[in-house]
Amino acid sequence: MSEKMDRRQARTKQLLNKALMELIEEKGTDGVTVTDIATRADINRGTFYLHYRDVPDMLEQIKEEVFVNIEKCILQLDINEVIKNANTGKPYPISVMIFEEIARHADFLKVMFGPKGDLSYAIRFRNFMATHIFNKLSYLQPAEDNFLIPRDYLIAYMSSANFGMLMHWLESGMKQTPYQMGLIMTQIALHGPIASAGLKSN
C-alpha cells in the first residue's frame, strides 16, 4: 500500500481510479468497460492490464481498501460504553470518528450504497456491524431463550436500521455533520425509535 512507487505507476493508478469513479457514478458498478476507463483516463488500454486483471478486480481492490479503513474505526467502538456515556448530551467520540471516516470516502460509498451500487458490499458492512457492534449489546447477552422475538432478528433489526440511517445520510446529501450523526445514533440506541420521536430533551 505505502511502498514507494514509481511516479509513473502512481500517476496512472490515480488517473484510472478517478476515471472509474466517474464512470460508475454515471453507469453503475457494471457496464463499465476497460475501454471506457482507459479512454476516460487518457491511458493506453494495455496499460490498464499492467495494474489490474480486469474491472471487477480493480473495484475489489478499492472496496477492500475503503472497508479496512472503516473497519479500524468500528473495531474501537464498544456499544455498551456508548450507552453508559450517553447521559451527557454529547455523542460517544468514537462514533463521531466513524462518521468522519465515512465522510472521507463519501464519493465512493455514495455510489456503492446507491441504486447502482453493490449489494454484496452493503451486506458486508451490515454484517460487520451486526457482529462487532450489536452482537455485543449487554441486554442481549443473558437469557438467550427468553426473548420475545428471536435474538438474530433483533440483531438484524438493529444493524439494518443503523446501516439504513447511514445510507440515508449519504443519499440525502450529508446535511448533518459527523457530530450530529453520532448524536442521532447515540440517542436512538439509547431510547429506541419510539421514544426518540416527540421527546425533545430541552
Partner DNA sequence: TTTATTAATGAACATCATGTTGATTAGCGA
Partner DNA sequence: TCGCTAATCAACATGATGTTCATTAATAAA
Q: Does residue 132 belong to the site contacting DNA (CB under 7 A)?
A: no
What value, to the nearest 5°, has the Cα angle with vertex 195 and ends 194 and 199?
Answer: 125
Contact range with its own copies by CB under 8 A, out of 1-9, 37-45, 94-102, 193-201: 193-201
In residues, how long is the chain? 202
Query: Is residue 28 close enough to count as binding DNA by CB under 7 A?
Result: no
Q: Per rule CB under 7 A, is residue 17 in the interface with DNA?
A: no
Q: Which residues of 164-184 are buried (b: 16+ CB within 10 A; e: fewer)?
A: eebbebbeeeeebebeebbbb
- Please classify residue 142 by burial: count the beta carbons closer than 10 Å to its beta carbon, then call 0-12 exposed, 13-18 middle and 19+ buried: exposed
Q: State the minimum distance, in angstroms, from the CB of residue 113 to DNA.
A: 24
Interface residue with its own copies among 6, 8, 88, 143 (CB under 8 A) is 143
Task: Give every CB contact of residue 77 below 8 A, 6+ residues apart in sequence.
Answer: 92, 94, 95, 98, 132, 133
Residues 18-43 as b/e (b if ≥16 CB within 10 A, e otherwise) read ebbebbbeeeebeebebebbbebbeb
Task: Find which of its own copies, DNA, none residue 11 binds, CB within 5 to 8 Å per kind.
Answer: DNA
Residue 70 or 156: which CB sits closer to its own copies?
A: 156
Q: Which SS3 state, helix, strand or coil, does residue 168 take?
A: helix
Asked if 81 interacts with its own copies (CB under 8 A), we say no
Based on the shown chain and the rule CB under 7 A, indicate whether residue 64 belongs to the binding site for DNA: no
Among 34, 105, 117, 179, binds its own copies (CB under 8 A): 117
Q: Does 6 bind DNA (CB under 7 A)?
A: yes
> Could you tell me the three cell numbers for 175?
446535511
Least distance between DNA and beta carbon 48 (Å): 8
Please give the residues from 149 up to 178 whose contact with its own copies meets the rule CB under 8 A: 149-154, 156-165, 167-168, 172, 176
Q: Which of 4, 8, 115, 173 binds its own copies (CB under 8 A)?
A: 115
Mark residues 43-72: x for contact with its own copies by CB under 8 A, - for none: ------------------------------
Instruction: State the Rg of the chain over Cα.
Output: 20
Residue ranges in contact with DNA by CB under 7 A: 6-9, 11-12, 33-35, 42-47, 49-51, 53-55
